[in-house]
Amino acid sequence: MPELPEVETMCRGIADVVGRTIEAVETPPCACRPCTIEPTVEKMHQHLVGRSVRAIERRGKRVMLRFDDDERLVIEPRMSGLVLLTDPPSVDHLRLRIRFCGRDSSADAKATSKSKPRAATKKPDADGIELLVWDRRGLGTIRLLSQSEFAEQIDSRLGVDALQIDVAGLRRKLDASSRAIKVALLDQTVLAGIGNLYAAEILFVAGVDPRLPCNKLSGPQWTRLHAAISHVLDDAIVHEGSTLSDGTYRNVLNDPGGYQNMHRVYDRKGQYCQRCTKGVINRIVQAQRSTFFCPVCQKRSGKHASV
C-alpha cells in the first residue's frame, strides 16, 4: 500500500503539470472493478477543462492537484493505485486520463521580475502531457472537492503530517494511550502518512519494541522515535519508495522504487538482525497487520548497545 514516501514520490514526479491547462478528462474503457470517482468523469471534464493546476500537494497518503479557487482533485491510491506520466503497467486497469496542454509560464510569475509586464512572461510549452491514474484492484478514490469539502471530509479527519510533527507534539498526542506503539503509529487521525511497512522500519531504527504501550515509553525513547520517523521517511523518499515482491508500486515513469533494498526488518522473518547480528527477525500480528522486529535490540526499556 503506498505510504507517505511513495505518495510524496508521486507528487514530486508530477510537478511538471503545475501551470499547465487541462484539455480533457477521460475514463478509458475498463471492464474491471470501478474506482470511486466523484463527481462523474463527464462532470469533472466540464468543470476542469480550461483550468490550470496551481500546485501539487500531499495530505497524508493522498496526491492533490490544487486549482486557483482552492478546489482540489484528490487522488487516494490506497492498496494498488499509481499516478503516472508514462505508459501504465497494463491498459486493463487504467482508470483516469487527464490531458494537459503546454504550460503557461505566467503561473510562475512570482519567480519573475516585477518590473516586467505579465504578458511578457507567457511562454507556452508546446509539448502537452498526460497524467494517468492506474489501479489494479480498483480500491482507490478520485474526488474533486471544494475548499470547504476538503476541509470537512479530509483535512479535519487527519492528524499532523508525519514529516511535520515535532517530538513534543508526537509525545503529547500518543503518550496517554495504552495502545501498542506500532498500532498507534498507524492511526491516521493522529499521525498522517505512516503505514505498516514504515512503522516497522521506524521502530527498528529507534530500538523500540513494537508491542510497548505508548504510555510506557520513556523520554529518550520518544526522542529516538521522532528522529527515526524523519530519518526513515526522508531516506525512503530519496530512494523513491519501496517496490515489494508483487511489483505493484512504481514511480510516475513506471520505474520501481529503491528503498526495498534498504529494509532492515520488514518481510525479513527468520533472518539475522543486520544491526545486533544476534537476534532473529520475528513476525507477529498486531491489529491484523504483520509486524517485523528484532527481539534482541528492540527493547521495552532502555537502549540496546547496538542502537
Question: Could you tell me which of 212, 162, 161 has the C-alpha nearest to residue 182?
Answer: 212
Q: Report the C-alpha gap between 233 and 242 in whole angstroms.
A: 11
User: Which of 2, 5, 88, 210 is labelled catalytic?
Assistant: 2
Which residues are bridge partners to 52 per DSSP? Answer: 21
Amino acid of residue 227: A
Which residues are bridge partners to 84 per DSSP? Answer: 132
Active site residue 6: no
Q: Where are the alpha helices (DSSP H) in the chain?
A: 4-13, 41-48, 147-153, 167-174, 181-185, 196-206, 219-238
Amino acid of residue 177: S
Active site residue 3: yes
User: Which of 179, 289, 299, 303 is labelled catalytic?
Assistant: 289
Are 61 and 51 within 8 A, CB to CB?
no
Q: Report the C-alpha gap between 213 and 224 in whole angstroms.
A: 16
Q: Beta-carbon neighbour count of residue 98 at 10 Å?
A: 23
Query: Cell triple for residue 175?
Result: 503518550
Q: Report the C-alpha gap between 45 and 289 in whole angstroms.
A: 39
User: Which of 20, 61, 78, 224 is labelled catalytic?
Assistant: 61
Which residues are bridge partners to 63 per DSSP? Answer: 58, 75
User: Which of 3, 6, 201, 240 is labelled catalytic?
Assistant: 3
Amino acid of residue 202: I
Active site residue 33: no
Strand duo 191-192 + 160-161: pairing: parallel
Active site residue 2: yes
Q: Which residue has the cell 491510491?
A: 77
Are 265 and 294 within 8 A, CB to CB?
yes
> Which amino acids are annotated catalytic?
2-3, 61, 289
